[in-house]
Amino acid sequence: MENTYDVVVLGAGSTGENVADIVVRGGLTAALVEAELVGGECSYWACMPSKALLRGTEALAAARAVDGARQAVTGEQDVAATLARRDSFTHHWDDSSQAQWVDRSGIALFRGTGRLDGERTVVVTGDGGTTTRLTARHAVAVCTGSEAAVPPVDGLADVAPWTPREATSAKEAPGRLLVVGGGYVGCEMAMAWQALGSQVTLLQRGDRLLDDMEPEAGDAVTAALRERGVDVRLGTDVTAARRDGDELVLRCTNGELRGDEVLVAVGRRARTRDAGLDTVGLEPGEYLDVDDSLQVRGVPWLYGIGDVNGRRQLTHMGKYQARQAGAAIVARARGERVSTADWSPTAATADRLATPSVVFTDPQVASVGLTRARAAEAGVPHRVVEYPLGNVAGASLHADGYTGTAVAVVDTEREVLLGVTFVGPGVAELLHGATVAVAGEVPIARLWHAVPAYPTMSEIWLRLLETWRG
């Protein structure tokens, strides 16, 4: 069976869905190819279930931080109810509602494994080995995402380690959970499962958790995890793994550790090994090298969008790239000129200039743009401005004894914000204002006229400006 569409999209996760939706809205036809669940990683194994696991812990902590409310908290978190709530957000790993949305949107859905087979051609292998050949008139978009990387540690792959998928979908809390990796996944899952009854040991190879963020972030999250009973071990490298009966054993640089499960959260790799890249002269297993319109360099009809290009592996950035790439695909199909200039509607530039991210631990870490270290690496003249969030009236109302911090990195020549980081309970909702300021390159002089309401946590903006002025 052979079908022809204007655009064929490999991968029906949040990125692929958005590409297909944008091009169809632009008057083109589109086919989506998906081997697993429509909606992808974020809906079923990442953003939604992980945040559902964490939310109860955060809500209890918020109540206990306010005198008068803490007296009403007389019990502990209901683990079964928390897991059931998590399952409701994944629709019990049933994608029928997502598939219905695809159909209502006028997008053709092909279930099976899609593989490139030469120029503008995709072969879909379904259940039972049936094959369907799809041809794209204008573009093929590879939106197959990324998958958890398991490092080549002796025996680690043989002990059936958890990846983030198992960590977010587990049906019960393991008695002892060993977590390898101190990035946002490791920190979030350590906090979630410790609160749900596991004894968690978190192992970080480097000397700080969240080591690509401002130092204040890693320090605060480390302290919070330890306060909750997580055994955080910095400067610890895992050299081997084995099973000893029912126990899992990790050999580390400073001795052996035993547990019931081990979560490996040390990074991601492109899911391109079986995408047929070799049939179009590209290297299987590698990230796709793309320009700012997300077009693969040297293959003008091919696009690599979302995690698969390795630029910013975040759901909202994949969706952003999808919107930009979709607009570029539609424009090129119409014979229009496509610009890749900064902030063009057909180019993805925010993923290198103004990427927002949140670590949903308690305290939260919300950041956008450059850290002080990245600004120094880039050679940008800058100054770091810090202010304790607990000194802001809105924060002190939010929680008794509120502790947190705000860090702004300011370009001293242009006097615009390069990056902002907030650390503290509830700071995620402060982030979009910072994102607008960074993305819009709003002059510091103009920010004085963006008056924060009193008494809210947003008053931190005024305090940062006052500190900047000195």
Comparing CA positions, the residue from 100, 102, 88 lying closest to residue 30 is: 102
Architecture per CATH, domain 363-469, reads as 2-Layer Sandwich (3.30)
Q: How would you classify residue 17: left for phi > 0, otherwise alpha for psi between -120 and 50, otherwise beta?
A: alpha
What 8-state DSSP symbol labels residue 169? H
CATH superfamily of 156-266: FAD/NAD(P)-binding domain (3.50.50.60)
251 Cβ partners below 8 Å, 6+ apart?
Answer: 238, 239, 240, 241, 242
Which pLDDT score, from 0 to 100, does residue 1 have? 54
Rounded distance between C-alpha atoms, residue 286 and residue 274, angstroms? 11
C-alpha triplet 155, 161, 163: angle, nearest 5°? 135
Integer CA distances (angstroms), 366 to 16, 180, 354, in order: 26, 23, 13
The pLDDT of residue 352 is 83
Structurally, what CATH architecture does the domain formed by 2-44+90-147+269-350 represent?
A: 3-Layer(bba) Sandwich (3.50)
**C-alpha angle 18-19-21 in degrees, rounded to nearest 5:** 60
Question: How many angstroms separate the CA atoms of 266 and 253, rounded?
Answer: 17
> Alpha helix (H) ranges present in 153-310?
164-169, 184-195, 215-227
Ranges assigned E (strand) in 336-436: 356-359, 364-369, 382-388, 405-411, 416-424
pLDDT at 166: 97
Same fold, 2-44+90-147+269-350 and 156-266: yes
Cα–Cα nearest to 423, from 454, 402, 400, 401: 402
Query: Are the C-beta atoms of residues 208 and 215 closer than 8 Å to each other?
Result: yes
CA distances from 19 to 25, 324, 333 (A): 10, 9, 14
| Angle at 50 (CA atoms; ends 80, 114), nearest 5 degrees | 115
pLDDT for 254: 87
Residue-range domain boundaries for the chain: 2-44+90-147+269-350, 156-266, 363-469
Question: Over the Cα atoms of the chain, what is R_g?
Answer: 24
Around 55, how many Cα atoms within 13 Å sit in the side-chain half-sphere? 13
CA distances from 237 to 101, 205, 255 (A): 45, 5, 10
**Mind listing the pLDDT tens digit of every residue in the chain (470 residues)?**
569 999 999 999 999 999 999 999 999 999 999 999 999 999 999 999 999 999 999 999 999 999 999 999 999 999 999 999 999 999 999 999 999 999 999 999 999 999 999 999 999 999 889 999 999 999 999 999 999 999 999 999 999 999 999 999 999 999 999 999 999 999 999 999 999 999 999 999 999 999 999 999 999 999 999 999 999 999 999 999 999 999 999 999 989 999 999 999 999 999 999 999 999 999 999 999 999 999 999 999 999 999 999 999 999 999 999 999 999 999 999 999 999 888 899 999 998 889 999 999 999 999 999 999 999 999 999 999 999 999 999 999 999 999 999 999 999 999 999 999 999 999 999 999 999 999 999 999 999 999 999 999 999 999 999 999 98
